[in-house]
Structure 1
Amino acid sequence: MAYLARHGDYLRGIFEISPGLALGPPARLFLGSLKSMRSTPLKVVCYVPTFNAGDTTRGIEVTRALEARAEEAGRELDILFVCPPIKVAHFEALILKAGYRIAHTAVPLSQADIDNFMNADRTGEEFIPEYDRAKLYIEKYMENLKEHKPDLLINGCIPPAGVAARILGIPTVTYFPFPADKTWVERYFLKDIPDQLENALTLKLPIFLRAKLTRLLSKLATKQRFFSQPTLARAGRELGWNEPMPGIFTMLKADVELVTDLAIFYEGQELGARTRITGPLFSKGADAVIDPKILEMFHAKNANKVLVTMGSSGEKKHLLEAIAAVSQAGYHAVVVVQPTICSIAEVRARLQIPPHVYLTDAFIPAHLVNPLADAVIIHGGQGTVQNAMYSGTPFVGVGMQAEQQTNLDNFSLQGAGIRIARKFWRRDAIAKALTRVLAEPSFKSNAARMAQSFAGIDGYKEAGNAIWELVEARNL
């Protein structure tokens, strides 16, 4: 069957270009089987956490990359996105707009569940601390996979789904902002001291001592419950997950592990054997439309223009401080108020919003809006940072957790922006940093230089090829 899967087109051609060839019943049956093999779609299930904008949009773009590669190969795809049923505002609309079908898992998420998932990497705690619920999650993902019977699973950062796929032996592709490899994390993950450990003493350390301390902390980070996930690991073992070194790295272990980042940040580093650095994947749809009010705000003459966007993983207090900073400074600002963080009504109730600040809770085409701004105020989500740098727009940023801090540090260390530690993220500090970024030409020139890092990189092609190598190797 493996030979037929690889050479079906060639064998069909022999029969189809020989019209005079008399075919007996066995040959006709054989030819019919070849035709059915050619027309069988590749069944793909995509698990995405639709309470997280970054993971949802990356999942969509990875799937688009697979679609483009499948089209080249002449293979039809049967794609289904599977999402948790949640009652709060989320990002399913983006999946539907992209033209994909959606189904739901059988375990609804409460706001407390979502908070655990979104905050675990910052607090160092587990995704699911209750054993019965952890076991239920894995069981329901196993039931879902048995129901849909995918040939291939694309999994965002959903550890219970990863465990279920490993138990059932389903070929899996994952996508991350950094390599999900323990050795890599221990050696290279952190670029600077984590914000939560920053204090008056560490701020005075010379650069070489900060670097040594950062390397030590990077190694110690993997000892946290966030990385060991003991409750989920115990539940997985109970259900048949035979993993000698259970933890988040093995929960998310896949046949292909895509890293949607620039390769320049990983030169000379040892990566996991299954890791593929694809380059950025973020939507740059030609049909995207900019809100006319944004255009109006950013077409103002003789005024600095600032975009404020904190993604879905930002926090209310950090967003409000950023809005207060641009309001007081008099900049023409567009602020994306993500409903999962805060409502526009609450912003207006807590702050005096001047006419030169426009609030929107709509999903904006960041690749088109960023170039209109002179600077951006951002959190450290990978897609948000990449959109700013792709546009050559300098930033003032804050990381919600260590990964986001590293995303910002990759570019701030190149002089393309300023990262402010979480505990120092206050309106006066933001305004001061923003004044520097806007006044000193080096920030703009360095951001423009970093924008050149994206030139010639086709993340879609790299991701599509990596996945298709798996499809061919496993005869899917």
Structure 2
Amino acid sequence: MNTVLFAPETFNLAETTRAIEVARRLRDRYECVFAGYSERYAGLIEEAGFEYHALTPPLSEEQADQAIRFDQGAGLEHPFTPEMFRERVESERALNALLRPAATVIGSTLSQFVSARADGVPLVYVKPFAYSWPHLRQTSALPVVQGHGRLARAVNTTAARLLRETARHTTLKPRGWVRIAQENGVRLPRRTVDALDGDLNLVASIRLRPYLLPPNYRWVGPVYAHLDHELPPEVPHLVRKARKSQRPVVYFAMGSSANRDIVLRVLRELSRLPVTVLAPVARYLIPDDHPELGEHVHVFDLLPAHLLNDQIDASVIHGGEGTVQTAAASGKPFVGIGLQFEQRWNVDECVRFGNAVGLSPRQAHGESLRRAFEAVLHDPALRARAQDLREHLAHTDGARNAADHIHALVTA
């Protein structure tokens, strides 16, 4: 049986869980093997029953956080030095020699753009639509400024035009990436947007508007986590208790790219409302935080959110692909607090569709958050549109579609 190598950045929860879901649909046709550098979410891969290769150099927790801050535009430094790129490529090419994969499936793993091509392995990128080149070519506005007034429209349409023209001509790439590519006989495409494409690009996003895709893109639809976890035994009890006291149940999740400040601010606000909160955000908190949140805020490490669909009344999320798709599948509206541009676009698409209320991080407190929350709990139009979106997505299996496209690539 041929091998397909999955190499997401394992400090990124969405990338890791997307890869797991696709591998599950592919494992009856190929030996699916994983590799990565961070231990943060590597355990989820082994829990799902896949072989995992911890490559060198390992990425520390501090380096993972630094990479996330850089991705969000909240920091100017990243850990991916030329030396790290060189070591990564050496480690990846050694694994390629061992496994001889028929394809490599990545997230935002830049070193694999070198390793796979140096070894002649087809490269598949499972990616969001937001801020890809086909998105930038076709979008008329970007959610830079919150709101729909004249000024906001002018700023957002101008931002889309400027970013499109910048992307059309930009050739800037990390120096270490280019240097190590040359050392390995790989010539990266000149334009940055082209250098960031795989041989096959699978768009794992909700499609709410018609967009055209270039020949090396396929739209597969939502791919989000179905964790191999049972619900903690206290969750059904908490839900029954909330129903008995007529307290709405709220799911609050901020993925792997949030920060302690925003998590605490939102939890404190939710703790003042007559709701029961289920929040898989433990990694952002310390023990001293919990008493101030009160008896109706319940914090967990990770929760299998797809098992909560029929037990929650609304969500408060950060707008990452996985959390938006899980919220959409629940059929319940959500408050979206986008922390970076991709997340803000995801939220904005749902606001436009009518199943969400969007807030900026600065608005995520006080009266603004309370009004947004009241809307997702009680506005009949929002709740009806959330059900419409659930039905719209009900017959789309993004992970199966992705697996089928990978198989077609390998067997072509």
Question: In the alignment, what sits opposite 1:275?
Answer: 217
Q: Tell me the amino acid that sits aligned with residue 45 of structure 1.
A: L
In 2: Cα distance, 1:397 partner to 1:100 partner? 33
Counterpart-to-counterpart distance in 2, 1:136 and 1:225: 27
The within-5 A match list for 1:213-228 is: 213-219=158-164, 222=167, 228=173
Distance 1:83 1:208 in 2: 41
Count of matched residue pairs: 408
Aligned to 2:294: 354
Task: State which of 56, 81, 87 in structure 2 corresponds to 1:136.
Answer: 87
**Cross-structure match for 2:231:** 290
- If you compute each CA radius of gyration, which structure gives the higher value, 1 or 2? 1
Distance between the aligned counterparts of 1:380 and 1:247, measured in 2? Answer: 25
Q: Identity percentage over the alignment?
A: 26
1:360 deviates by: 1.3
Aligned with 1:259 (options 203, 208, 224) = 203
Structure 2 vs 1, CA of residues 383 and 115 (structure 1 numbering), >3 Å: closer, same or farther? same
1:372-411 aligned at under 5 Å gives the runs 372-411=311-350
Kept after mapping to 1: 8 A contact 2:339/2:360 = no
Provide the C-alpha distance between the structure 2 equivalents of 1:454 and 1:121, rounded to a whole number of angstroms. Answer: 29
Distance in 1 of aligned mates of 2:279 and 2:77: 32
Shift of 1:305: 1.7
List alignment gaps of at least 5 residues for structure 1.
1-40, 71-76
Q: Rate the CA distance shift 1:460–1:188 in 2: closer, same or farther, 3 A.
A: same
Amino acid at match of 2:118: I
Match for residue 55 of structure 1 among 15, 19, 29? 15
* Deviation of the 1:419 alpha carbon: 1.1
Q: Secondary structure at the match of 1:192?
A: coil
Partner of 1:420: 359
Residue type matched to 1:135 in 2? R
State how far apart, in whole Å, the 1-side matches of 2:124 and 2:328 are: 27
Runs of at least 5 residues in structure 2 that lack an aligned partner in the other structure: none
**What letter is aligned with 2:307?**
L
Change (3 A) 1:227 1:386: farther
TM-aligned CA distance change 1:227 to 1:46, over 3 Å: farther
Call closer, same or farther: CA 1:98–1:320 in 2, change over 3 Å. Answer: same
Deviation at 1:408, TM superposition (A): 1.1
1:402 partner letter: F
Structure 1 residues 224-239: aligned runs within 5 Å? 228-239=173-184
Query: Out of 209, 212, 216, which is 2:154 matched to?
Result: 209
Query: 2:385 matched to 1:440?
Result: no
Shift, 1:449, TM fit: 1.2
For the residue of structure 2 that corresponds to 1:303, the secondary structure is coil
8 Å CA contact 1:290, 1:365 repeated in 2: yes
Q: Are residues 91 and 105 of structure 1, via their aligned partners in 2, closer, same or farther at CA, if it must alter by over 3 Å?
A: same
Contact 1:134 1:232 in 2 (8 A): yes
Determine if contact 1:312/1:338 at 8 Å carries over to the other structure.
no
Residues 465 and 244 of structure 1: is their aligned pair in 2 closer, same or farther, counting only changes over 3 Å? closer
Residue 116 of structure 2 aligns with which residue?
A: 165
Code of the aligned partner of 2:89 = I
Alignment equivalent of 1:115, drawn from 65, 70, 73: 65
1:66 to 13, 17, 26: 26
**1:335-350 equivalent positions in 2, closer than 5 A:** 335-339=279-283, 342-348=284-290
Per-residue deviation, residues 203-241 of structure 1 (Å, max 9, x unmatched) = 753565245224224325638999733442233223322
Alignment of 1:323-342 (within 5 A): 323-339=267-283, 342=284
Counterpart Cα distance in 1 of 2:378 and 2:25: 40
**Which residue number in structure 2 is paired with residue 456 of structure 1?**
395
CA contact under 8 A between 2:114 and 2:184: conserved in structure 1? no
Q: Contact between 2:319 and 2:337, CA under 8 Å: does it hold in 1? A: yes
What corresponds to 2:250 in structure 1? 306
User: Whole-Å Cα distance in 1 between the matches of residues 48 and 348 of structure 2?
Assistant: 32
Equivalent residue in structure 2 for 1:84, among 30, 37, 58: 37
Secondary structure (helix, strand or coil) at the match of 1:254 reads coil
Tell me how far apart the structure 1 counterparts of residues 252 and 141 of structure 2 sit (CA, whole Å): 24
Asked if 2 retains the 8 angstrom alpha-carbon contact of 1:321 and 1:427, the reply is no
Equivalent pair of 2:130/2:346 in contact (CA under 8 Å): no
User: Post-superposition shift, 1:55?
Assistant: 0.6
Between 1:422-431 and 1:218-227, the stretch displaced more is 218-227
Aligned partners of 1:415 and 1:244: how far apart in 2? 39
Structure 1 residue identity aligned to 2:236: L
TM-score by length of 2: 0.90
Give yes or no for contact 1:334–1:357 (8 Å, CA) kept in 2.
yes
Separation in 2 of the partners of 1:359 and 1:305?
13
Which residue pairs with 2:266 in the alignment? 322
Aligned-partner SS, 2:57: coil
SS at 2:108's partner residue?
coil
Q: Give distance in 1, aligned partners of 2:51 and 2:81.
A: 31
Q: Quote the Cα distance in structure 1 between the aligned partners of 2:90 and 2:226.
A: 37
Residue 42 in structure 1 maps to residue 5 in structure 2: no
Normalised by the size of structure 1, how large is the TM-score?
Answer: 0.78
